Amino acid sequence: MNVPNIITAICSLLFFMVGADKFLSFLEPPCSLESSISPMVWMGLGALQLVSGILLWLPNFRKPVAGFWAVFMVVFTIVHLTQNTYDVGGAASMALMLGVLAWNPSFLRGK
C-alpha cells in the first residue's frame, strides 16, 4: 500500500467518524463550537464530511476535496484559537494530512 492510499484511508475514516458524530454525538468531549452553530448547518457539515470520506477515494475528486477541507480545517483551527477553545488537534492534524494529499509532493508520487 502506498503513502497516498494510507493518508486517504486515515482521512476517510476520520471524515466518517466526525461526520457521523454530527448526527449521533458520540465523540467526547463534543466540539466546543457546536452550541454556537445552527443545528441545520451542523448536520449539513456532517453530511458533507460523510460524502467527502467517499469522494477522497475517487482520483478525480481527491485533490479538490482534500484542498477544500485542508483550508476549511485551517480556518476553523484559527476560529477555535481566537475563541480561546483549544480542541483543535483533530482539525490541525487533518489539515496537515489533507494538505499533503492536495499538494501531492514527489515523495507521494514515488519519485
Report long-range pairs for 3-10 (Cβ below 8 Å, ≥24 apart).
Answer: 3/107, 3/108, 4/101, 4/104, 4/108, 7/97, 7/100, 7/101, 7/108, 8/56, 8/57, 8/62, 8/101, 10/97
Give the model confidence (pLDDT) of 41-60 as tens digits: 999 999 999 999 999 999 99
Task: Determine the pLDDT at residue 2.
Answer: 86
Indicate the pTM of the whole model: 0.89
Identify the band that residue 105 occupies on the pLDDT scale cut at 50, 70 and 90: confident
Domain ranges of the chain: 3-109
